[in-house]
Structure 1
Amino acid sequence: MSTSQDKDITPTAAHFEAEQDQDQEQDVTNVTSSPSQTPPITDTAPTTTSQGMQVIEDEHPEFITADSDLTTDLPEDIDVIDLIHLKIRSLEELNLYRFKELTQLCLRQNLIESISEVEVLPHDKITDLDFYDNRIKHISSNVNYLTNLKNLDLSFNKIKNIKNIDKLINLENLYFVQNKISKIENLSTLKNLKNLELGGNRLQELEKDAFVGLENLQEIWLGKNAIPKLVNLSPLKNLKILSIQANRLKKIEGLEELTNLEELYVSNNFISKLEGLENNKKLTILDITANKITKIENISHLKQLTDLWASFNKIDQSFQSLGEEMTDLPVFETIYLEGNPIQLQNETSYRRKLILTLGPSLQKIDATFIRG
C-alpha cells in the first residue's frame, strides 16, 4: 500500500516535493471500459436549447460509472481495496459494510469530503487507511473505532485540527502532509507511533506538550511550516530522524536529549552557526543546505557522520581549517559545499584540496564520486 512516506531527500531540496496539483479530471470511463467496449459512432443529430446551444445526447449513459458500481463485483472476503483517482464523492455508496475481512482501504485522489462512514469497516481487521488527496476538512469521531489501525494517511486534504484519533493506540505511521494544521495536539496516547509527517502545514511553534507520550517516535517530518525555534523535543528519546527544512529557524538548539538522533535535516532556514550537536553523537547525516553558515565547526566529535550537506551557505574558511575539524571522522564519505565562497573562489583546485584535506574515506564531492 502506497503511503506518504515515499521520500526524496536531497542536499538541495526540502523533504517533500510532492505536488498537490495532480490531475483530478481523469475520465472514469478509462477505468470501466476497454477499447473493445467503446460504443460505435452514431448519426444522432444534436438538439438545440432555447439559448441556441447544441446538446449532443449521450447514447450510452451506462458507461458512466456510479460510486456504487465500483465495489459491486468485488468479493465480500476481499482484504485489500484500492480505488484511486476515480472521482469518488461518497463512502456510503461504496457499500463498504459488505467487506468483513478488509485490512487495507486506499481511496487516494478522489473527491471525498466526509469519512464518517468508516464506522462500517471491520474494527478488528482494518490496519491501513489511505485518504491521501481528497477534500476532507474534518476527522470524524468514527475513526476512533478503528483501534487496530497501523497506518493512517490524511495528507493533501483541508484538515485544520488533529483530533478523534486518540484511541488508535496501535498506530505506527501517521501522515498529515499538506493540510491546514496549526497545532500539534491530541497525540499523547499514541504510544506505538513511529513516524509522524506534518510537512506543509501552518505550524508556527512547537507547544510544550506537543510530543508528550511519543517516546517511541523514530521519525518526524516538519518541513515547509513556519516554526521559529527548536523547543520541547525532550520526550522524543528514541527519535532517529528529524526533518525541519524550510522553516524559520535561526539556531540549532534543543537537541540535547535526542541522543539517538541519526539524521538531521535543517536546510533552507536562517541558521548562522553550526552548533548545538554536542549530545548527538550518533548522527550519520547532517543537512544544513541553504542557510547562512560561515564555518564548518563543532562536529569533530561526530565519529559516525558519513554525510555533510552544506551547499549554498557562506562558508569561507581555509581548507586547513576545514581539515582540522573533519580529518578524524573515520567513516565520513560525502560532502556538499557547492555555492559557498570556499568553492566559488577555488574552482580549479577545490576538489583536489578537499581530497587531500578530508582523508581516505571521502567518496563523493558535490554529487560526484571521486573513487571507483
Structure 2
Amino acid sequence: MVGTEKQFATTTTYIKGDANYDFLKCFRRIVLLKKHRGCGSIKIVPNAVPPWILTECTPAFLEEFWTCAAIIADYFYTFFPHDSIHMQQMWLDLLDKHFFPAARLPHNCSVRVAELRCTHAQAFTEQLHEYSDFMNLLLRSVGIPAEPLVTLEGVMEPTVTGADYGRFRSDITAWEQFLMKDSPGFGVDDKDKVYPKGKIKIDDQGKTQTVVHVPRGALAIVSTYIERLREIMELIYEDDPKRRHVLRDFDNTAFDMSQQSIYTSLDGRKLVVEPMYPVPNSANAPKQPRGPADPGELLRNPGLQQLDESIGKYMIEKRPFIHPDGDDQFHMLTVTRSERDTTTLGPDPDIDPEVFDKMFDDWDLPPELGGEPYDLCS
C-alpha cells in the first residue's frame, strides 16, 4: 500500500496480488451510485391519480451497484485488517452514507408509498442482506470482532417485522449505537425530539457536555432491577413491620423514568436526565411494532422481533415492560453529562469511588430472609 501525508496518512492505492484499487476512483464510484441515471426513483406528481410515478432501476445501475459491492467486499477481506483506523472508518462511512443509501427507495417499503417498489425489490433486498451477513462473516474469518461490524440500515428486511430501529452506524455494537458519546446510531434531529416534561436549560459556564439517548430496551432493564430492589425492601418490611421506613424511603428515592432529575455523580459531574421520545414519523426515528408480528409462529425465517415474541410466550411469571407514560411512543431518556471541571475540587473528597465499585460484591440476604446470596445479575 502506498500512502501520501496530508493532515493524516491517506492510503491512495491498494495492491495485493491481482487486487489493485485506486482509492479516489473507488470513492467517487461509490459516492456517485446515488446519482446514477439508472437508479430507480419515485416522483410525486401533484393533482395526479395516482400522485406518484415509479421509475425502475435499469440493468446498468444494478450491474454498477453490485460491482461496487464486490470492490467493498474485496477491500474488507484483503486490506481492512491491515489498514489505518482512519481509512477503515472512511470505508465504513462509504458503506453507511453512500453505498447502502443507494439501495433504498424504491427497494424498501415506504410508509407513504408502500405499494411502489421495483419488480426486483424482493430479490434485491434479500441479496443485500445476504451481502451484509457475508461481510460480517468474512471479517470474523480474518479475526476482526465477533460482533457484527457492518450494519445494514435503511432497507427493510425481506420479511417485514413492523420494527424499525432507526439509523444504525456500522462498526459499533447495538448498545453502543445509543450509549456511546452523543449516541452515534441515534439520528433523530433535535427538532424531532419531544420532551413531555419540558427541556431543562443547563448552564454550566461553558463546560463541555456529552449527551446519550437511552433506548427503550435499557429502560426495561432498569425497570426490572428497580422491581427487584423493591422486592428486597418488601422482604425486610415483612420481617420487621417496624422498619416501614425502609420501604417508604425506597419509594421516595427510587429512580422514576417518567420524571426529570438532576444529580451529581460520584466523580463530580452534573447529570441531567429527561424523558424524551422521537416524533414517530420523523426520519431515523426508532419505532416499535404494533402487536405481534408472527402470533402463529409460521414464518420460516423469523427475525429478532419474532424470536423475542416467541421466547416471551414461554417465560413464566414474566410481564412485558410497560413504560409509566404508556406504550404509544418510543419512550427514551436523554442524559446530559457535564465533563469534570478540573478548576474545582471535583468529586466529594469524603467519597471513595472504589468503595462503591465493590459495594455489591458480597451482598447477601440475611438467613431469615432466604439465606442465599441475592444475585442481582441473574
Asked whether the two chains share a fold, i.e. TM above 0.5, the reply is no
- Structure number with higher helix proportion: 2
* TMscore range, shorter length: under 0.3
Relative CO higher for 1 or 2, CA cutoff 8 Å, sep ≥ 6? 2
> Given the two structures, how large is their TM-score scaled by the length of structure 1?
0.24
